[in-house]
Structure 1
Amino acid sequence: MSNFRIMPAEWAPQSAVMLTWPHAGTDWADVLDVVEPVFDAIAKAVLRFQHLIVSCEDADKAASIQTELNDWVVNRGFPGRVKTAAVPADDTWARDHGPITVLENDKLQLLDFNFNAWGDKFPWAKDNAINRQLAESGFFGAAPLQDQDFVLEGGSLESDGAGTLLTTSECLLSTARNPGYDRSQIESKLRDTLGANKVLWLNHGYLAGDDTDSHIDTLARFCSADTICYVRCDDPQDEHFDALNAMERELSQFTNIEGKPYSLVPLPWPDAHFDQDGERLPATYANFLIINGAVLLPIYNVPQDVEAIRTMTALFPDREIIPIDCVPLIHQHGSLHCVTMQFPAGVVTL
């Protein structure tokens, strides 16, 4: 009997979410007092619905996080528990260095792809070793961790849970990741490892300030098997206008596994944020996280936050929308989805 693999959709039942906590050895060193409250808010939102895994370089800090968050949960009667591990880390982007879960003949498998910091842009050796250390410490239960000799980041892929993946050519075809691989070879790799029987490639769309070469989770997201939400820019004077309009046209040509066009829902375009050097930061409402019973939505203290919450409420009427101020995160060129990795039901039991 041949193997059947599938990468679950993010809205499938989950057991836990993974965070890699910022520390003084990261680029967050000077702003820990500002960014740690964001991680704390994400952690507490997750724990209202499911478990949390936290890796933290400092052992004392890891122990403190575990005690404080578990006490917080117990005092409020929420179902989640947190388990921490003292594991070295270069940075905090768990979406990209965390394992990707697949179902193979209904059995859970964790795939440990290589992480090279988006094409050797930053130090990455510690981050690339996190998954193995967590697995060896029993964090993933009975689900085996399989090494994959291929560079792939979780933020570069969207799955509908039925064999269709959505991605961008700028990211997956980057020669700084997997030199020598062309599009057909990468599609073959996605089919073999993730069970992809259809790959939708976006050739347009980008976000200023993004270090990832246009990760899909900053641009367009599956909300269901037949619905995609996406960032749209309506300002002809904005530098993103042409690229995002071209992306919108591409999305309108895509069809699902049944050959039907997707229902497309535009997300509002937030007012621009800039760093102290005047460089634009990658604020996007597409970087949300779906968990059991809720959607964690990044907001940026701009007027468009209200419309973003309204849009998410319509897209996910059966889930609570939990806004989280992610302005501190975009100052390191990522947002909410980028710092999280979810695990399907059955992977983590605490």
Structure 2
Amino acid sequence: MKHLTPADPAPRDLGFAMPAEWEPHVATWMSWPADDELWFGHLEGVRREYAELVRTIARFEPVELLCRSAECEADARKRLGADAANVTFHQVPLDDSWVRDNGPIFVRNADGEVALVNWEFNSWGGKFEWENDNRIPEYVAEHLGMGHWDRPEVLEGGGLEVTGDGVGLTTRSCFLTETRNPGLSEEGYAALLSDTLGVRHLLWLDGGLENDHTDGHIDTITRFTDPRTIVTSVAEDPSDANFAVMQGNLEALREMTDAHGQPFRIVELPLPAHRLEGAEGRLPPTYANFYIGNGFVAVPQYGDPNDERALETLRPLFPDREVVGLPSRQIIEGGGSFHCLTQQQPAGPVWTGADATPSAAKV
């Protein structure tokens, strides 16, 4: 396993890029919920819903489950029971469960080899504890024997959507905040993500949901379902604080083009009809925080009148996958849902980094 730094050849120089989420996975990485205080007293309900998510994913692909203590592993094994057969347990120091943001981002080269990028994580601008979570990518790389790049920039996986053919989508409200990478401009991010993740065409929306502690991650509002199709959240009540922001995003998306200069197909996805309140004010429930796996899509449900409408909207977009609605009413108390709680490891042999020399055939 080789560590690479910004002084070494960049992932792009070695032919690496971030694959789309719908491409085959070898596993899903997750982190078992542990801290009742972080879940505002809802840990029991959160673990119940989380176990159902793990069981569902494990029906389709292996799960690599990080547990911060013996108690967490014992609790997970008890709840999963026989369904733990496709789950590998790891005891690792953790602060929280949002592995989409604190975990690695995997990249793959033209030979199908998989490496990872280890970004800095500061808990969405210093909002919570993060020192243990910031070490997760290094643990994953060591466990897999995987070559990887250690980057000095702060970047969360939930802040970026990719098509796998060079197009990326993010929000200004998240990436341009001064609590992440002060002074890094839109142009700077475009160059950074081109070098590290193979994003050659970076698209920007303005903002996300009200009271989202991530500052508006793209994966809570707008998602690619294939290289030509974008599903985006809309609010139906003009008096809702989310209405104008979501409408602005919708209008902006209609003006954007894909990797071939063609307009995207834009599909509107309703937000939940009912406003949900939590310990720190309004919660950001959304159906856009679905997770795409091998043969399935897991969609959060909130006991809301729009739950079934969301499933009916998404099913035609994934004709070859089972679109599964799972409860997330307790999980949303922590501010996120299924996509935030998962990180896909793309299928492919592990790249150890032994051959870290640029090759004209791979660039």
TM superposition score normalised by structure 2: 0.88
State yes or no: 1:121 paired with 2:127.
yes
Q: Once the 2 structures are TM-superposed, how far is the Cα of residue 276 of structure 1 from its aligned partner? A: 5.1
Q: 1:5 to 1:219 in 2, by over 3 A?
A: same
Q: Once the 2 structures are TM-superposed, how far is the Cα of residue 272 of structure 1 from its aligned partner? A: 2.9
State yes or no: 1:237 paired with 2:239.
yes
Q: Once the 2 structures are TM-superposed, how far is the Cα of residue 71 of structure 1 from its aligned partner? A: 2.8
Q: How many Å separate the matches in 2 of 1:2 and 1:178?
A: 23
Q: Once the 2 structures are TM-superposed, how far is the Cα of residue 234 of structure 1 from its aligned partner? A: 2.3
Q: Once the 2 structures are TM-superposed, how far is the Cα of residue 238 of structure 1 from its aligned partner? A: 1.2
Bigger Cα displacement from structure 2, 18-27 vs 32-41: 18-27
Answer yes or no: is the 8 Å Cα contact 1:65–1:84 preserved in 2.
no
Q: 1:115 to 1:241 in 2, by over 3 A?
A: same
* Secondary structure, counterpart of 1:306 in structure 2: helix
Aligned mate of 1:321, from 318, 323, 329: 323
Q: 1:331 to 1:169 in 2, by over 3 A?
A: same
Q: How many Å separate the matches in 2 of 1:299 and 1:166?
A: 25
State yes or no: 1:146 paired with 2:153.
no
Residue of structure 1 in register with 2:337 after alignment = 335
Answer yes or no: is the 8 Å Cα contact 1:269–1:304 preserved in 2.
yes
State yes or no: 1:104 paired with 2:118.
no
Q: Once the two structures are aligned, what percentage of the paired residues are identical?
A: 39
Residue of structure 1 in register with 2:170 after alignment = 167
Q: Matches of residues 1-350 of structure 1 in structure 2 within 5 Å? A: 2-24=13-35, 27-28=38-39, 30-62=41-73, 65-66=76-77, 69=80, 71-72=82-83, 81-106=86-111, 107-136=113-142, 138=143, 140=144, 142-203=145-206, 205-275=207-277, 279-346=281-348
Unmatched segments (≥5 aa) in structure 1: 75-80
* Secondary structure, counterpart of 2:129 in structure 1: coil
CA deviations on 1:7-34 (whole Å, 9 max, x unpaired) are 1000000111111111137513732211
The root-mean-square deviation of aligned C-alpha atoms, in Å, is: 2.0
* Secondary structure, counterpart of 1:44 in structure 2: helix
Q: 1:328 to 1:67 in 2, by over 3 A?
A: closer
Q: Once the 2 structures are TM-superposed, how far is the Cα of residue 68 of structure 1 from its aligned partner? A: 6.4
Question: How many pairs does the alignment contain?
Answer: 338
Answer yes or no: is the 8 Å Cα contact 1:143–1:347 preserved in 2.
no
Unmatched segments (≥5 aa) in structure 2: 1-11, 351-363
Q: How many Å separate the matches in 1 of 2:40 and 2:189?
A: 37
Bigger Cα displacement from structure 2, 298-307 vs 26-35: 26-35
Query: What letter corresponds to residue 154 of structure 1 in structure 2?
Result: G
Q: How many Å separate the matches in 1 of 2:75 and 2:283?
A: 32
* Secondary structure, counterpart of 1:303 in structure 2: coil
* Secondary structure, counterpart of 1:327 in structure 2: coil
Residue of structure 2 in register with 1:78 after alignment = none
CA deviations on 1:145-185 (whole Å, 9 max, x unpaired) are 32111110000000101011011111111111011211111
Answer yes or no: is the 8 Å Cα contact 1:91–1:127 preserved in 2.
yes
Q: Which structure has more RCO (C-alpha within 8 Å, separation ≥ 6)?
A: 2
TM superposition score normalised by structure 1: 0.91
Q: How many Å separate the matches in 1 of 2:88 and 2:152?
A: 29
